[in-house]
């Protein structure tokens, strides 16, 4: 049975095109959210691609601010559209525009459809040693998701002075002086925002009353896209269908880095190892930095088994 791929992207439309072409089997649905902050010319480039590919759907763009609810909401928009547009897919996979497959779509379908009711996601206790050193700040602070504030903080000189005065240096902006209680009506979980969700899991995340209640509590947390889906599903009746493995190859040079390592040809042995281990995607890549690694991965996927 086919899959649904939801891609959250904000730059490099040509690199994104290469990713889409790898996933475009003619039977799987591909849903893309491209950040409204990005240039109109890039949106036009993707609109032209969507006219070429019947299975590609572009989601109404939002202005996404990193680490805030708008990032999670863009993913939820894609999930909602995937449910409304295509009734045949069994699993929905979320990826970024800087991911690239390590396996063919046929392989992904085979793996996921062995257990069509199961979902593969990463989860952990955010307060556990070696996890998030800012876990309490994430869950107890009241964080802003304001595009106006986002633009002000990007003004040279002005943004730095405001951030220094309010204690926001290298942090997601928060309302000073407000501390909220750790929620008691659900257990909070963290994990990657790359998921392989069954159709039932997607329905639950989008429509169940408990999910909506958890969303209201996490809406103003830091990086809610790294805790919302985990917290909803691990506090649901679907727990027996969850597997703690997102099947992604992501390299963090330090656990508290804001972004994973940018992969290049020097990482090829690691990519081959991840492919052999059955990982489905790797991230992150930038064709402006190293296009060769993406070309070699494409060639690898075209090889006959």
**How much is the pLDDT for 153?**
73
**How much is the pLDDT for 87?**
77
Which residues lie closer than 8 Å to 157 by C-beta, 6 or more apart? none
CA dihedral 61, 64, 69, 72 (to 10 degrees): 60
pLDDT tens-place string over residues 204-262? 999 999 999 999 999 999 999 999 999 999 999 999 999 999 999 998 887 666 788 99
Match 């006959």 to its residue by tokens.
304
Which residues lie closer than 8 Å to 187 by C-beta, 6 or more apart? 231, 234, 235
Torsions phi, psi of 203, nearest 5? Answer: -60, -45
In sequence order, the β-bridge partners of residue 249 are: 282
Can you give the pLDDT of all 305 residues of the chain as single tens digits? 799 999 999 999 999 999 999 999 988 999 999 999 999 999 999 999 999 999 999 999 999 988 899 999 999 999 999 999 977 899 999 999 999 999 999 999 999 999 999 999 999 999 999 888 889 999 999 888 887 877 777 778 777 787 777 776 777 888 888 899 999 999 999 999 999 999 999 999 999 999 999 999 999 999 999 999 999 999 999 999 999 999 999 988 876 667 889 999 999 999 999 999 999 999 999 999 999 999 999 999 988 66
Helix segments in the chain, DSSP class H: 13-23, 40-52, 69-85, 105-113, 135-140, 147-153, 158-166, 199-207, 209-218, 228-233, 268-276, 292-302
Which residues lie closer than 8 Å to 198 by C-beta, 6 or more apart? 90, 91, 116, 117, 118, 119, 241
Stated pTM of the model: 0.93
**How much is the pLDDT for 268?**
96
Domains of the chain as residue ranges with CATH: 3-130+188-302 (3.90.550)
In sequence order, the β-bridge partners of residue 31 are: 6, 57
CA 142 to chain centre: 22
CA–CA separation, 118 vs 113, rounded Å? 9
Q: Output the six-digit token pair for 29.
A: 């649905």
pLDDT tens-place string over residues 178-199? 899 999 999 999 999 999 999 9
Torsions phi, psi of 97, nearest 5? Answer: -70, -10
**How much is the pLDDT for 304?**
63
Evaluated on CA atoms 85, 89, 94, 95, the torsion sign reads negative
> Which DSSP string do the residues of 242-304 spell out, in sequence order?
EEE---EEE--SSTT-SSPPPP-GGGHHHHHHHHHTT--EEE---TTT-SHHHHHHHHHHHS-
**How much is the pLDDT for 147?**
78
CB 251 within 8 A of CB 267: yes
Q: Output the six-digit token pair for 209.
A: 């009353």
């Amino acid at each position: 049975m086919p899959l649904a791929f939801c891609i959250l992207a904000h730059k490099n439309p040509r690199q994104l095109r290469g990713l889409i072409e790898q996933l475009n089997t003619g039977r799987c649905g591909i849903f893309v959210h491209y950040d409204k902050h990005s240039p109109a010319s890039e949106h036009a480039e993707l609109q032209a691609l969507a006219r070429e590919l019947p299975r590609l759907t572009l989601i109404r763009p939002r202005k996404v601010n990193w680490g805030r609810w708008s990032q999670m909401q863009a993913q939820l928009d894609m999930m909602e559209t995937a449910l409304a547009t295509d009734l045949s897919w069994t699993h929905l996979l979320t990826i970024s525009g800087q991911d690239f497959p390590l396996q063919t779509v046929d392989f992904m379908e085979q793996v996921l459809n062995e257990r069509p009711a199961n979902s593969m996601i990463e989860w952990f206790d955010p307060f556990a040693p070696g996890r998030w050193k800012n876990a309490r700040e994430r869950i107890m602070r009241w964080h802003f998701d304001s595009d106006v504030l986002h633009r002000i903080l990007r003004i040279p000189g002005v943004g730095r002075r405001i951030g220094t005065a309010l204690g926001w240096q290298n942090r997601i902006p928060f309302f000073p002086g407000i501390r909220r209680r750790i929620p008691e009506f659900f257990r909070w979980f963290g994990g990657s925002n790359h998921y392989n969700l069954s159709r039932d899991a997607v329905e639950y995340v989008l429509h169940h009353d408990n999910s909506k209640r958890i969303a209201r509590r996490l809406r103003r947390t830091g990086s809610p896209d790294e805790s919302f889906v985990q917290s909803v599903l691990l506090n649901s009746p679907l727990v027996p269908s969850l597997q703690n493995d997102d099947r992604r190859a992501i390299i963090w040079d330090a656990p508290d880095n804001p972004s994973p390592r940018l992969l290049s040809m020097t990482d090829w042995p690691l990519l081959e190892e991840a492919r052999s281990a059955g990982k489905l995607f790797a991230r992150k890549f930038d064709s402006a930095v190293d296009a060769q690694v993406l070309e070699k991965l494409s060639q690898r996927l075209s090889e006959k088994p």
